[in-house]
Structure 1
Amino acid sequence: MPFKKLHADIQEKLTSLEIVSPTPFQNKAIPVIKSGANVFCNGPKDIGKTTTLILTTLQKLKCIAEGNAPRAIVLVKNKEKAVELYDLFLKYTKHNSLRVYLSHEDLHIDLLKSEIFEGLDILISTPSVLNKLLLSNGLSVSQLKIFSIDDAEFLTGNTPYTALLSITRGIKKCQYVLYSETMHPKLKRFETSFMEYAKKISV
């Protein structure tokens, strides 16, 4: 049972949220993501992909704050998705020390840079903002452990696709996990860049 092998703080939080057993998708995906491999996770809505993203991120960071640079980045389509995911993360990090930070287009880049400098563990961002932060040296990725992409279909558009390729070129070593409903041919192309030797989970 994947939940039984997660950090004790995560198990306690799941119990408080009355989440008792993993979905079939989570049974398959969590052990593979925990192994450290790059993973394409495919399946329809409401099978637990976003919850899996949150749980495996917390597991990777051992539920404790450390350092100043982000150790996890979560990429999303737009501001609305970023806010939604930020609120979900807060439900799971309420009683631990992990610092979750939200960035999107409505926030000035200089404000983002100054607040990020104060220290964070998990950064939720859109492709364009994340790319701007990296190009302006407003973000260090030297401590990055896991980079997840939620509902990755938006990357089939040329602008976010190009932004992501630019972002990943600046990251030396990191685990990538990409969640989508289907394996779009354009997403599969990432295998030749940052998704090397990726495993595939689908239900």
Structure 2
Amino acid sequence: MKKILCFGDSNTWGHNPVDCSKLEKPWTVWLKDIVPEYEIVSDGVCGRATTHYLENEDKTNGLKDFRERYLSGENDFDLIIIMLGTNDVLNNIDFSNQKTADVLKIYVEECRTKFGKDKPKILLVSPILINDNCLTHPIFKDLYSEKSIEKSTHFSEYISKLADEEDTYFMNAANYAKASDIDGIHMVSEEHKKLANAFADKIKEILS
């Protein structure tokens, strides 16, 4: 059975915009139902950015996690899906889109240096768009800004360019799912299902 890693943030973990709980079926769980012929490993962390941005916040340092969990030993994944960027545009980090792409490039380069180009294959995914409902949300209004929203519209531009340059796979999640009108950041269950169907098609294209 081919094995797939889904590495991401709260939209991979399954943050419920209604009450901040964990959704029963985030896209990774839907994906297991849609493509049972693949083993799906989900690694989503709320607040995870491409790299560290807060002192002593190792749990949100995506690159540190990736190195420790998946580059430090053997790796039996056939495909690694990386969907990060939403937390890179938080007010207190304010990465440029190019900075996000530059860090994602490190993921690709270090993975290939360790394991080679053919396996695991890598799918870089630009996240869903942030919408302006985050600006009035009781939690996220202080974390995101209009600048964050604007930057999210360029996720696909920069990450697709990186994918072309590194000869790896790319998918734009915003073509298939959208953030809720509740918090402007996270998906409701139905959007997770839509995204899972898109991932299933892409996975079959890559691994078949």
Q: Under a length normalisation based on structure 1, what TM-score does the superposition of the two structures give?
A: 0.36
Higher RCO (C-alpha under 8 Å, 6+ residues apart): 1
Q: Under a length normalisation based on structure 2, what TM-score does the superposition of the two structures give?
A: 0.35
